[in-house]
C-alpha cells in the first residue's frame, strides 16, 4: 500500500490500523471524554457529509474560532475531506482582525465554539458576502438564537449521518479525489509589520514536515500531547493535526484556558510544547513561590538551583560531572527537581519543545538543569511550522539544532537564513508580490532571520534580520538578545529595547503583575491596579535592580542605561504585540515615539497619551505622566539580586 498523501488519507489509515487507540480527548465538567481513531473518523465523516448537504464544495474555505475542542479539529479535517481548506482564526481576535481574515480568506462556513464566538461573528455577517453558514459547537446560551444560516454542530452532523446511512462510500470517494498538492490549510501569520498574510500550505507541505520530524524523534502512537495553544497558530496545527495524524498519538484538549496547568498535571503528557513566554512565566512563578517560602526552603531551593545550573553548563561544554556533584544532584532530585517536574506536570515527559521566538539562555538552562529534556525548535508558518530541531544529547542554549532531513539551508549575504524544502509554502493567498519577495530566484525561502552555522552544523539565530543593528559607536545591537536577558527576571513581563544608531541602549518595560503583586503584598505595599503598582517608587527600584542584574551578563555597550515602566501591559488588542505575543517593533516605535525621544534626551519624565482598544472595538485614551529611571554603573556592579 502506498503512503498516504493527504491528511484525510492519514486519518483513514489510523482508523484502520489504530481503531481502538485514543486519538482525541476533551475535558468537560471535570471528566475526560475520549475519541478513538475510529470515533474520530466517524465524527469527521458525519460532519463532512453534513457540510456537503449544506452546499460546501471543493475549494471552499471553512474557518474555526474557539478554544481547543475535538469538534473544531474534526471540522478542519471534514473540510479537507471534501477538498476544502481549513482557516483557523485566533479566538481572542477583536472585530477588525476577525473581519479582515474572514473577508480576505473568502470564508463560506464558520464553526464557532460557543455563544461568545457567535456573538463576534453575527455583527460581521452583513460585511462578509461569501459567508453562507455559521455553525456553533456548544449549545449553551444559544436557545434564543435562530434564523437562516445558523446551525449547531450536532444538527449538521445528524444530517450527515442520515446521508451516510444510504451513501456509505461517499466520503471515501471524496477523500480519494484529494491530491498531495491540494491546498489544505490557510494559516495567517502573526502580522508583526502590518496585516497578517494568508500562508497557503498543501497536504504535501504538512506531511513532509511531520515525516522529517518523526525521523529525528522517537515519537510513538502511545504518546500523549496536550493541545492548548491557539488553534490558529502553526505550532498547534503542526503538532495537533499533522504530526498527530502522521504518528497516531493522542491529543488532549483542556477544559478551559484557565485550567491548563491543572489539566497538564493531571494528564502528565509524554510530549509537550510551549512558546518562550510560557516558560518565562513558569520560571517567574517558581521563583516567586520560592521567595514566599520559609528561609530554610528558600535556601535549599537556591542551593540546588545553583548546583543544577553548574552541572548543565558542564554538560553543554562536554565536561564530566565530578562524583561529589553527581551525588548532590541525586539528593536534589529527591528534594527539588523531581517535585518541581511533578508540579509542572512534566514528570512523564520524554521530549519538551519550545519555539516561535527565541528563549533566553538562562531560562533554557534552568529547566534543562531540572531534568526536563527541553529542546529548541526553529521554523516559520511558511515552513509548515518546523525547520530545525536539537538532537538528544546536543541541546544548547546557543542554537536551534540541525535542519530537518530533506531540507537544505544556506546563509545569504548579510546573514539571512534561507531554506529549500518540501515543507516550503505554496505562497501567500492573493498576494503574488509578497510571495515573490519571500522567495529567491532559484527557489529558496527567505526566512527573515539572521544567523549562522556553528562547528557542529547547528543553526544559531541572532535576531530578525531587519532588527539587528549597531549602536552609534559601531557596537552590535541585537534587541531580542537583550530583551531575553531582561525577561529572565520574574518581575519583568515584557521588554522592548532601543539602540540602533543611538548612543546607548534604553528600554520600555511592563511588569509581570502576578510576580510584582505578590512581592508588594509580602512587603505590605497597597495597590489598586496595574498602573498604580507600576508607579510605586519601590517597584521602580526593584526593576532597576533587576535590570542591573541582567546588565552584568551583557557586554558593556549592550547594557541598558535608561528605562521607563509602562502603566499598562503590552496588548494584542492595541496592536502592540501579536496574538502569539511577538513584539510589533515598528508600531511600538511609532506609538511611543515621545517616550523613545525622552529616553535619549535625558528628561526625568514624559507625558504619555495612550489609546487602548476594548474587545468590542471601542477605544479610549489613557493619559499619564511617567518617570524615567537611570541605571548607573554602581548598580550594575552590585552583587545581591533584588529577589534574593
Beta bridge partners of 152: 136
Fold of 276-347+349-464: Rossmann fold (3.40.50)
Per-residue confidence (pLDDT) for residue 439, from 0 to 100:
96
Q: Which residue has the higher pLDDT, 499 or 481?
A: 499
Q: SS3 of 571, please?
A: coil
Could you report the per-residue pLDDT of 32-62, keeping only the tens digit for each? 999 999 999 999 999 999 999 999 999 999 9
pLDDT digits (tens, 9 = 90+) for 403-457: 999 999 999 987 899 999 999 999 999 999 999 999 999 999 999 888 899 989 9
Q: What is the mean pLDDT of the chain?
A: 90
Produce one character per residue of 350-364: b if its CB has 16 or more CB atoms within 10 Å, e if not. bbbbbbbbbbbbbbb
Note the pLDDT of residue 642: 38
Give me the pLDDT at residue 193, please. 58
For the chain, what percent of residues have pLDDT higher than 90? 63
Does pLDDT of 622 surpass 90? no
Q: Please report which confidence band the pLDDT of residue 317 belongs to, taking 50, 70 and 90 as the band edges.
A: confident
CA atoms of 563 and 555, how far apart (whole Å): 18
Domain boundary assignment for the chain:
7-182+231-249, 276-347+349-464, 469-636
Q: How confident is the model at residue 1 (pLDDT cuts 50, 70, 90)?
A: low
pLDDT in tens, 289-302: 887 788 888 899 99
What mean pLDDT do residues 505-533 have?
91
Residues 597 and 502: beta-carbon distance below 8 Å = no
Rounded mean pLDDT, 498-510:
93
What three-state secondary structure class fits 436? helix
Summarize the confidence of residues 247-261 as an average pLDDT. 93
With contact defined as beta carbons under 8 Å apart, do 321 and 314 qualify? yes
Q: What is the CATH number of domain 7-182+231-249?
A: 3.40.50.12780
Contact 598/606 with Cβ under 8 angstroms? yes
By the 8 A CB rule, do 133 and 94 touch?
no
Handedness of CA 366, 372, 376, 381 (dihedral sign): negative
Which residues, in sequence order, are CB contacts of 118 under 8 Å at separation 6+?
Answer: 112, 134, 136, 142, 145, 150
- CATH superfamily membership of 469-636: ANL, C-terminal domain (3.30.300.30)
Best CA proximity match to 210, nearest among 26, 355, 421: 421
Q: Are 505 and 560 in contact (CB under 8 A)?
A: yes
Q: Answer with the residue of higher pLDDT: 39 or 603.
A: 39
Residue 617 pLDDT greater than 70, yes or no: no
The pLDDT value given to residue 638: 45
Measured distance CA(454)–CA(474) in Å, rounded = 24
Mean pLDDT value across residues 339-362: 89
pLDDT bin (cut points 50, 70, 90) of residue 643 is very low
Alpha-carbon dihedral sign for residues 12, 238, 587, 575 = positive
Handedness of CA 329, 334, 336, 337 (dihedral sign): positive
Would you say 371 and 304 are in contact if contact means Cβ atoms under 8 Å apart?
Answer: no
pLDDT grade, residue 167 (50/70/90)?
confident
Listed in sequence order, the residues at least 6 apart from 445 whose beta carbon sits closer than 8 Å to its beta carbon are 382, 383, 418, 419, 420, 421, 424, 425, 438, 439
The pLDDT, as a whole number, for residue 76 is 98
Q: Do domains 7-182+231-249 and 276-347+349-464 have the same CATH topology?
A: yes
Entry pTM: 0.85
Of residues 499 and 574, more confidently modeled: 499
Cα separation values, 188 from 401, 428, 460, Å: 26, 9, 26
Pick from 33, 64, 56: nearest CA to 232: 64
Q: What is the per-residue pLDDT for 585?
A: 85
Q: Which pLDDT score is estimated for 402?
A: 95
Overall average pLDDT of the 620-643 stretch: 66
Amino acid at each position: 500500500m502506498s503512503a498516504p498523501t493527504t491528511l484525510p488519507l492519514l486519518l483513514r489509515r489510523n482508523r484502520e490500523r489504530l481503531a481502538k487507540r485514543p486519538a482525541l480527548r476533551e475535558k468537560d465538567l471535570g471528566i475526560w471524554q475520549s475519541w478513538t481513531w475510529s470515533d474520530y473518523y466517524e465524527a469527521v465523516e458525519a460532519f463532512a457529509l453534513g457540510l456537503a448537504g449544506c452546499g460546501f464544495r471543493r475549494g471552499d474555505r471553512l474557518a474555526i474560532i474557539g478554544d481547543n475542542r475535538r469538534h473544531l479539529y474534526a471540522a478542519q479535517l471534514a473540510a479537507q475531506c471534501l477538498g476544502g481548506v481549513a482557516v483557523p482564526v485566533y479566538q481572542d481576535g477583536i472585530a477588525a482582525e476577525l473581519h479582515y481574515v474572514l473577508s480576505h480568506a473568502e470564508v463560506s462556513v464558520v464553526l464557532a465554539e460557543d455563544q461568545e464566538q457567535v456573538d463576534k461573528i453575527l455583527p460581521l455577517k452583513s460585511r462578509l458576502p461569501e459567508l453562507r453558514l455559521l455553525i456553533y459547537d456548544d449549545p449553551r446560551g444559544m436557545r434564543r438564537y435562530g434564523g437562516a444560516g445558523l446551525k449547531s454542530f450536532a444538527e449538521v452532523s445528524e444530517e450527515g449521518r442520515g446521508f451516510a446511512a444510504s451513501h456509505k462510500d461517499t466520503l471515501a470517494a471524496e477523500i480519494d479525489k484529494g491530491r498531495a498538492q491540494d491546498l489544505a490549510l490557510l494559516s495567517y501569520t502573526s502580522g508583526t509589520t502590518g496585516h497578517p498574510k494568508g500562508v497557503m500550505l498543501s497536504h504535501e507541505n504538512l506531511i513532509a514536515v511531520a515525516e522529517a520530524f518523526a525521523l529525528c524523534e522517537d515519537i510513538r502512537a502511545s504518546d500523549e500531547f496536550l493541545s492548548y495553544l491557539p488553534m490558529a497558530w502553526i505550532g498547534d496545527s503542526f503538532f495537533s493535526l499533522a504530526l498527530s495524524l502522521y504518528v497516531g498519538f493522542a491529543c488532549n484538549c483542556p477544559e478551559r484556558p484557565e485550567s491548563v496547568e491543572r489539566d497538564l498535571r493531571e494528564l502528565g503528557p509524554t510530549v509537550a510544547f510551549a512558546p518562550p513566554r510560557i516558560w518565562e512565566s513558569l520560571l517567574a512563578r517558581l521563583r516567586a513561590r520560592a521567595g514566599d517560602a520559609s528561609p530554610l526552603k528558600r535556601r535549599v531551593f537556591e542551593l540546588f538551583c545553583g548546583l543544577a545550573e553548574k552541572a548543565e553548563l558542564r554538560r553543554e561544554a562536554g565536561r564530566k560531572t565530578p562524583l561529589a556533584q553527581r551525588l548532590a544532584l541525586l539528593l536534589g532530585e529527591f528534594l527539588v527537581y523531581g517535585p518541581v517536574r511533578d508540579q509542572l506536570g512534566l514528570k512523564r515527559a520524554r521530549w519538551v519543545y519550545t519555539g516561535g521566538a527565541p528563549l533566553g539562555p538562562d531560562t533554557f538552562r534552568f529547566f534543562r538543569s531540572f531534568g526536563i529534556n527541553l529542546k529548541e525548535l526553529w521554523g516559520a508558518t511558511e515552513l509548515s511550522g518546523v525547520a530545525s530541531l536539537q538532537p538528544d544529547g546536543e541541546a544548547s542554549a546557543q542554537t536551534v539544532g540541525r535542519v530537518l532531513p530533506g531540507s537544505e539551508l544556506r546563509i545569504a549575504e548579510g546573514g539571512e537564513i534561507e531554506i529549500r524544502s518540501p515543507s516550503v509554502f505554496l505562497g501567500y493567498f492573493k498576494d503574488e508580490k509578497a510571495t515573490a519577495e519571500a522567495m529567491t530566484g532559484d527557489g529558496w525561502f527567505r526566512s527573515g532571520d539572521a544567523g549562522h552555522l556553528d562547528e557542529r552544523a547547528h543553526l544559531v539565530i541572532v535576531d530578525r534580520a531587519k532588527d539587528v543593528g549597531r549602536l552609534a559607536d559601531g557596537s552590535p545591537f541585537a534587541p531580542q538578545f537583550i530583551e531575553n536577558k531582561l525577561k529572565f527576571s520574574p518581575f519583568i513581563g515584557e521588554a522592548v529595547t532601543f539602540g540602533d544608531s543611538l548612543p546607548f541602549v534604553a528600554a520600555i518595560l511592563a511588569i509581570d503583575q502576578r510576580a510584582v503583586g505578590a512581592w508588594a503584598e509580602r512587603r505590605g505595599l497597597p495597590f489598586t491596579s496595574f498602573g498604580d503598582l507600576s508607579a510605586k517608587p519601590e517597584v521602580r527600584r526593584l526593576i532597576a535592580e533587576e535590570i542591573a542584574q541582567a546588565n552584568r551578563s551583557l557586554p558593556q555597550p549592550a547594557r541598558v542605561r535608561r528605562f521607563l515602566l509602562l502603566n499598562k501591559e503590552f496588548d494584542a488588542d492595541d496592536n502592540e504585540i501579536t496574538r502569539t505575543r511577538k513584539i510589533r517593533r515598528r508600531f511600538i516605535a511609532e506609538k511611543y515615539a515621545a517616550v523613545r525621544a525622552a529616553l535619549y534626551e535625558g528628561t526625568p519624565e514624559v507625558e504619555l497619551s495612550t489609546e487602548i482598544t476594548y474587545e468590542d472595538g471601542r477605544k479610549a485614551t489613557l493619559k499619564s505622566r511617567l518617570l524615567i529611571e537611570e541605571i548607573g554603573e554602581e548598580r550594575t556592579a552590585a552583587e545581591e539580586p533584588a529577589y534574593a
